Chains A and B, each alone.
Chain A
């Protein structure tokens, strides 16, 4: 199985432009997550979805929005990009949200905002 796929692999974006990062999983996992990873910092949660039709805000949600119309897809939208959103973005999923549930990560999207 493919697991989790993300698109695009990398992108250069002009400040002020909008962009949607795509994430699709084929594991029928209920929960999905978006993280950003910056040098010297731990992964930071942007938004999450515990099940299709629901979403929640993470630690750093400002400037980002998500939707979860179905189980498989969890797109992340930057409405008006700013240079501080330059980062590596990882989508992850887990079967559920209990104690032992392991999160599985996609390959990431490297975004440069100029």
Chain B
């Protein structure tokens, strides 16, 4: 079967750095996405990786290792508004997105 694993919950301090990991086992791989979802709201797109390496976008960076079936989302200079769930999704060989359950990130002052 297909599987996306993420930690259920993480806690970090305002101003700090946090890394959210995602491991996947899917039938085929056509890219990995990270989305942010605030409580009660829709998911919104953060990043896309299809090649190995780091993609940087402001305070957020995303890393991919296809050989290890592994990605992480790195959030720097954490702000209270970063409190949200972060969803990892992999596009499989049928071009459908397979979603992880999400990591709830709690930011403390």
| Chain A interface (Cβ < 8 Å from any Cβ of B) | 35, 40-45, 48, 58, 90, 97-100, 102-108
Provide a sorted-by-A list of 24 A–B residue pairs whose CB atoms are within 8 angstroms.
A40-B101, A41-B101, A42-B4, A42-B99, A42-B101, A45-B97, A90-B42, A90-B43, A97-B95, A99-B30, A99-B91, A100-B31, A100-B48, A102-B45, A102-B48, A103-B97, A104-B45, A105-B42, A105-B43, A106-B42, A107-B41, A107-B42, A108-B41, A108-B42
Q: How far is the CA of A97 from the CA of B98 in the complex (A)?
A: 14
Tally of A-B Cβ pairs under 8 angstroms: 47
Q: Are A100 and B50 CB-contacts (below 8 A) given A42-B101, A43-B87?
A: yes
- Chain B residues closer than 8 Å to A98, beta-carbon distance: 95
The total of chain B residues at the interface (CB under 8 A) is: 22
| Chain B interface (Cβ < 8 Å from any Cβ of A) | 4, 30-31, 33, 41-45, 48, 50, 87, 89, 91, 95-102
Q: B99, A44: Cβ atoms under 8 Å?
A: yes
Q: Output the nearest chain B residue to A90 by Cβ-Cβ distance.
A: B42
**Most chain A CB atoms below 10 A, which of B41, B43, B50:** B43
Q: A42, B43: Cβ atoms under 8 Å?
A: no
Q: How far is the CA of A70 from the CA of B95 in the complex (A)?
A: 22
Question: Shortest distance in angstroms between A34's beta carbon and chain B's nearest beta carbon?
Answer: 13
Question: Shortest distance in angstroms between B40's beta carbon and chain A's nearest beta carbon?
Answer: 8
Q: How far is the CA of A45 from the CA of B33 in the complex (A)?
A: 16
Q: Output the nearest chain B residue to A3 by Cβ-Cβ distance.
A: B42
Q: Output the nearest chain B residue to A40 by Cβ-Cβ distance.
A: B101
Question: Shortest distance in angstroms between B44's beta carbon and chain A's nearest beta carbon?
Answer: 7
Q: How far is the CA of A5 from the CA of B43 in the complex (A)?
A: 14
- Chain B residues closer than 8 Å to A99, beta-carbon distance: 30-31, 50, 91, 95
**Most chain B CB atoms below 10 A, which of A44, A48, A105:** A105
- Chain B residues closer than 8 Å to A105, beta-carbon distance: 42-44
